[in-house]
Chain A
């Protein structure tokens, strides 16, 4: 898991997940879930190829900003137990 504090931006420069045209509606459930999946897919692929996982930080930031932390906790628990329903 990546460190959040390491990604803090310089002072006065704000960054939060930008508007995502795939999810233009009020319902952002899928936005959160998709970015969580993308982060883990990215980690898996890049680790398998022996590349740096630095680019995956973007997905981490997005889902960390959007998803309620309780959702992320329960998904991480499921991944650990091998019961996560998503395809990573």
Chain B
């Protein structure tokens, strides 16, 4: 989860998020290089005693400062597109879980086998136990196995919502009348937090998402298959 005064992204929990973190660092490196180059050039121009009045038709320089940015943009665009298409990939999912946005809570449906359907409300501050996270913990978490490809079907019953888990690199809009699909494979167990990411009304900030990722063996013993 995110912590106070955090700089940068949350630790990755899925291969897609690993890719995104690497891409973020790659883009940031390029931005740093450009920024320092521009600052250095500015510093030189402002501090020099020389005055130039005679250069025109500098074809060589024009060519370089046109081609070079184009190459830099391609170096950013290609890895970006690669990750874009990787996130769309569906790798033969093992589970399908539905997430339905409501004003202002999420409903989860595990209907592959039994018919486990439950609502997930934020814990009101008065009900918090020591150690609980304010505005982030819910009464019923989504329990899912690690190292298994999971397909999330996301939709909404009323207005736009967005189902988000940053450490898995997921953010999918919940749209009424439309069923969106996203897939992920979690790599390590733990509890992961997210928040509704599409402004959806008065309690938009108070409908968090909590994923509890556990080993498959323990998941098999859970209520998804016993209920």
Residues in A lying within 8 Å of B, measured CB to CB: 4-5, 7-9, 11-12, 14-19, 24-29, 31-32, 64-70
Residues in B lying within 8 Å of A, measured CB to CB: 88, 90, 92-96, 98, 100, 109, 111-115, 117, 148, 151, 153, 155, 157, 172, 177-182, 220, 225
Contact in complex: B88, A26 (CB < 8 Å)? yes
A64 to chain B, nearest CB (A): 5
| Distance between Cα atoms of A4 and B227 in the complex (Å) | 12
Contact in complex: A65, B111 (CB < 8 Å)? yes
* Residues on the A chain within 8 Å of B151, using CB: 16
> Which of chain B's residues has its CB closest to A62's CB?
B96
- Picked from B90, B92, B179, the residue with its CB within 8 Å of the CB of A32 is B179
- Picked from B90, B111, B182, the residue with its CB within 8 Å of the CB of A69 is B111
Contact in complex: A4, B88 (CB < 8 Å)? no
Contact in complex: B96, A26 (CB < 8 Å)? no
| Distance between Cα atoms of A65 and B181 in the complex (Å) | 12
Given the interface pairs A11-B220, A28-B153, the reply to whether A68 lies near B114 with Cβ below 8 Å is no
Contact in complex: A28, B180 (CB < 8 Å)? yes
Given the interface pairs A8-B113, A26-B88, A68-B153, the reply to whether A16 lies near B96 with Cβ below 8 Å is yes
Contact in complex: A69, B117 (CB < 8 Å)? yes
- Picked from B88, B100, B115, B225, the residue with its CB within 8 Å of the CB of A68 is B100
Contact in complex: A28, B181 (CB < 8 Å)? yes
A76 to chain B, nearest CB (A): 15
* Residues on the A chain within 8 Å of B95, using CB: 14, 16
| Distance between Cα atoms of A6 and B151 in the complex (Å) | 23
B162 to chain A, nearest CB (A): 13
| Distance between Cα atoms of A67 and B21 in the complex (Å) | 33
Contact in complex: B179, A67 (CB < 8 Å)? yes
Given the interface pairs A4-B114, A8-B113, the reply to whether A65 lies near B88 with Cβ below 8 Å is no
| Distance between Cα atoms of A27 and B153 in the complex (Å) | 9
> Which of chain B's residues has its CB closest to A4's CB?
B115
> Which of chain A's residues has its CB closest to B87's CB?
A26
| Distance between Cα atoms of A10 and B116 in the complex (Å) | 18
- Picked from B100, B113, B115, B179, the residue with its CB within 8 Å of the CB of A28 is B179
Sort A-B residue pairs by CB-CB distance and give the 3 closest, nearest first.
Answer: A28-B181, A29-B179, A14-B94
* Residues on the B chain within 8 Å of A9, using CB: 113
* Residues on the B chain within 8 Å of A5, using CB: 114
| Distance between Cα atoms of A86 and B114 in the complex (Å) | 27
The 23 listed contacts between A and B (C-beta, < 8 Å) are A4-B111, A4-B114, A5-B114, A8-B114, A9-B113, A11-B220, A14-B94, A15-B112, A16-B93, A16-B94, A17-B96, A18-B92, A19-B92, A25-B88, A26-B180, A27-B178, A27-B181, A28-B181, A32-B179, A65-B112, A66-B98, A69-B109, A70-B157
Given the interface pairs A68-B109, A68-B155, the reply to whether A29 lies near B178 with Cβ below 8 Å is yes
* Residues on the A chain within 8 Å of B155, using CB: 68
